[in-house]
Structure 1
């Protein structure tokens, strides 16, 4: 075994926190983490939010973000402790020997400059190669990463390419200076499932072509299983389990790792009778500013006490359909029928009772709550608005709702900033339930959450449905969630409904091309899945 390219030994990282009304204090956020990484190999760092994944990854660049300090241990790159390099030493290291690929490519590029110039900038500035050599290398990398027209791709500006292409361009930027190590920090999390596979395949191919070593940070075990040689599972800043990718996926030893591996196994048996609609959408078309048409003749229905999953990638019209149902975007054509009656198209024309019966849970709970209001105020507002509740009666009902979402009255006087992501989403659910609605529109309410937390939210929603006969329209791009909760499924593509029916029909062949692509793009938690998908795609392309 060769000496490791990267060896992290007993890493300890601290941060200063400032609790309300208390003196500042230091907390340990990474505690005694050790690992080795050989040249040309990939180590996956997996864990929930706050586990320390990104913090550990950034330590490979000798970087502590947001007041974080590396207080112990060693980070050895080719035997040299980079923590002892000083500012100038680190400056010559970053962007040359160690490079970083962030989650959001859009934030990594300057919109005023062409992509090619930004991709080669570090290579030229560090004196690694001439501008001409760097341009040749960039073109080579564009080709390796499967970008269109590699010779002229660099002439484009960031806004002229898709999200997936921008993410690959950022990978090219990291690979351009011929680094020894790349830190990939959730590089496909913000992408649609169909795009994610292309980017994942491009990253894997580029690593194999260039022989670079990589740390791959993610909370999705199925994704990391496709690219990593070894996997380290982190929780609360400590190592839970560390082994080969195959061992972690196929024979996990620790309970926490076993829970991560089994998180996608939730199943829901669909309702037998789906004929009596609570909600019916009849030939809905809609446009923004009466100019840009985004929905085209969409029809579907949802029975009482059931879940309709609407799936499709970004721009397919899923969230726009939710805005139409709530009245935020009145349709230009078609009608919305709710329990046999036509609903007024615009929110302002609906009665308070009609508003009460349809509630919404948003993707990002943070943006849907007033940070200056307590949980008592947030959940209590609809109780006052719809039922005129005040005082002790209102507090008792808020406490009941907190019990219903498995949190309890001890959270009454907490502010959103004092809650975890999963707790915030539960409060958002309680606020929707406070109105006693017949229908809740759930717009990707678990996509920003860690897998185990998301699973808890889905189980909560299913239990509430069984207890109250509430109906859900659940908007998602995750087919695993569809299988876990849906009775019926609608597949949207570019504003049109391409497939609709009971789950067992909608998710069974024969498929239209788009649904087939969508279903084949969901990563499976097994080694070699990515290669199988790419091989199938190549064979299908050859056959066409």
Structure 2
């Protein structure tokens, strides 16, 4: 059974004592027993920092400087460190964004799921294992009696996320904190996980905090919504009120960014009158050692055909593991096809980077999903952008500095960013630098691999607008990889649908709303959450 949670004047600061910055500004709110409060806002708004404070925890470099947090009759911030440790995992449980990073790969799932019950001595091992199996049933996991004997790498991402929920619920906590628990999942898996989370929270009447930047997901999960910006409360209200009649201008901007919109396409191209800019002919590719026939141990792509014309944007969608990224990597030369051929502007492209000329490398650029791991953390933005300019254009001195400033202007960043390290930029700014680095080569084709999946709604929408604007201004072509159909529909002229390494269908922009389409395309379309309450119930009933 959930507990009443009361937060009054919560203040969190960061930095050394002589230069403290307030990052959470005296927040006050309540969560009734059995209710779900959503914390929403852009990256850096203080959502996770606030949620962690409910356990009395502040991340390295931060400090809870004031206020009170009561769970039932317990004042959390007044507890000693030992008492707070006893609270965590027992009365308050935390479900993190990345289940894959939260599990120990060397231990079985059952050992890890029952660990909180054993640490807090609330159940014997036999009783804990029996309860874990009950939770596996409740969370709709396959083979609930045997899945605990597997290791984390032997289950899917969606299953691992639900197993982390079982770990959190094994002690019957009064409060559960769900921190972006479906952000890393594709849309069809996300539905399964949302259904399971909501059912368990409702049936157990557990109080919950749901941290997210996805308003459509929040609409399915939350009873009340707290909108944060720069660590300050902008609005707090019941979910219907926030969705239908928001008071704050900022909330209105979040809602506007969350609603799908069709962006203008770039220059149109006539397939009948042009040679394709990119042609993929019967490509197969995979990973691992090859056999005598040249087939890789793990085959990911099988017989893919694709034509992309100059000025076009083609989207490639499918669930995780469908081969989308492998296709982009093959086009980029990062993985060599074992069969088939890739032509660019009528000329065959060598399968590997080493076999391609500098000019071939220049004309096809890739922007990766994770801006954090794509930028060297020890290099300044100026150094990062200078490298392709020196390599492809031979620029130096004043000409180099001028072009770096022009690239920053292109991606709508101030020139002062040039002297900073990637760690000093927001997620959206880093992704713009990734885009600027690709533009430095003056390519004809840019491969965009899930470029907005890690960004919050407002920043993601701004990056999509920028991509479309650059397409119109520079005549760029895009191959746009995503698992989000709304995103792809908003920027692309055609959509290629992939599953299990095969191309199932190709749908033109004019036919997006016309049917019938391939059943898998229809499934993906139905699986994108809509910005209204009750949508998830309709999917359960369907």
TM bin (shorter chain): over 0.9
When residues 107 and 405 of structure 1 are mapped into structure 2, their CA distance, relative to the original with a 3 A threshold, is closer
Within the alignment, does 1:503 sit opposite 2:509 as a pair? yes
For 1:429-440, list aligned pairs within 5 A: 429-440=435-446
| SS of structure 1 residue aligned to 2:354 | helix
Moved more, 314-323 or 270-279: 270-279
- Tell me, in whole angstroms, the C-alpha distance in 2 between the residues paired with 1:136 and 1:284: 48
What corresponds to 1:295 in structure 2? 301
- Tell me, in whole angstroms, the C-alpha distance in 2 between the residues paired with 1:294 and 1:135: 37
Structure 2 unaligned blocks of 5 or more: 291-295
Moved more, 200-209 or 504-513: 504-513
1:531 aligned residue (513, 534, 537): 537
For 1:452-467, list aligned pairs within 5 A: 452-467=458-473
* 1:426 shift after superposition: 1.3
Within the alignment, does 1:312 sit opposite 2:309 as a pair? no
Within the alignment, does 1:240 sit opposite 2:246 as a pair? no
1:59-81 residue CA offsets vs partner (Å, 9 max, x unmatched): 11111121321110000111321
Q: Tell whether the 8 Å contact from 2:3 to 2:175 is kept in structure 1 after alignment.
A: no
Within the alignment, does 1:215 sit opposite 2:214 as a pair? no
Within the alignment, does 1:179 sit opposite 2:185 as a pair? no
What corresponds to 1:113 in structure 2? 107
What corresponds to 2:260 in structure 1? 265
What corresponds to 1:63 in structure 2? 57
- Tell me, in whole angstroms, the C-alpha distance in 1 between the residues paired with 2:176 and 2:485: 30
1:364-408 residue CA offsets vs partner (Å, 9 max, x unmatched): 223222223222222222222122211111111211121111113
When residues 403 and 269 of structure 1 are mapped into structure 2, their CA distance, relative to the original with a 3 A threshold, is closer
- Tell me, in whole angstroms, the C-alpha distance in 1 between the residues paired with 2:336 and 2:145: 46
Q: Tell whether the 8 Å contact from 1:361 to 1:443 is kept in structure 2 after alignment.
A: yes
- Tell me, in whole angstroms, the C-alpha distance in 2 between the residues paired with 1:334 and 1:151: 44
Moved more, 186-195 or 346-355: 346-355
| SS of structure 2 residue aligned to 1:465 | helix
What corresponds to 1:230 in structure 2? 224
**RMSD in angstroms over aligned alpha carbons?**
1.8
| SS of structure 2 residue aligned to 1:334 | strand
What corresponds to 1:14 in structure 2? 13
What corresponds to 1:365 in structure 2? 371
Structure 1 unaligned blocks of 5 or more: 18-22, 537-544
Question: What TM-score comes out, normalization by structure 1 length?
Answer: 0.94
Q: Tell whether the 8 Å contact from 1:269 to 1:487 is kept in structure 2 after alignment.
A: no
1:384 aligned residue (384, 387, 390): 390
Within the alignment, does 1:201 sit opposite 2:200 as a pair? no
2:158 aligned residue (158, 164, 180): 164
1:168-214 residue CA offsets vs partner (Å, 9 max, x unmatched): 11111111111111111111111111111100100000011111110
* 1:4 shift after superposition: 6.8
1:97-127 residue CA offsets vs partner (Å, 9 max, x unmatched): 1111111112222233322232222223323
Q: Tell whether the 8 Å contact from 2:269 to 2:312 is kept in structure 1 after alignment.
A: no
What corresponds to 1:444 in structure 2? 450
What corresponds to 1:280 in structure 2? 279
Q: Tell whether the 8 Å contact from 2:411 to 2:432 is kept in structure 1 after alignment.
A: yes
- Tell me, in whole angstroms, the C-alpha distance in 2 between the residues paired with 1:361 and 1:438: 13
What corresponds to 1:142 in structure 2? 136
1:189 aligned residue (179, 183, 200): 183
What corresponds to 1:412 in structure 2? 418
Q: Tell whether the 8 Å contact from 1:274 to 1:502 is kept in structure 2 after alignment.
A: no
| SS of structure 2 residue aligned to 1:100 | strand
| SS of structure 2 residue aligned to 1:429 | helix
1:317-338 residue CA offsets vs partner (Å, 9 max, x unmatched): 1111111111221212211121
Q: Tell whether the 8 Å contact from 1:310 to 1:489 is kept in structure 2 after alignment.
A: yes
- Tell me, in whole angstroms, the C-alpha distance in 1 between the residues paired with 2:125 and 2:417: 58
- Tell me, in whole angstroms, the C-alpha distance in 1 between the residues paired with 2:176 and 2:8: 19
- Tell me, in whole angstroms, the C-alpha distance in 2 between the residues paired with 1:323 and 1:287: 11
- Tell me, in whole angstroms, the C-alpha distance in 2 between the residues paired with 1:326 and 1:344: 10
What corresponds to 1:75 in structure 2? 69
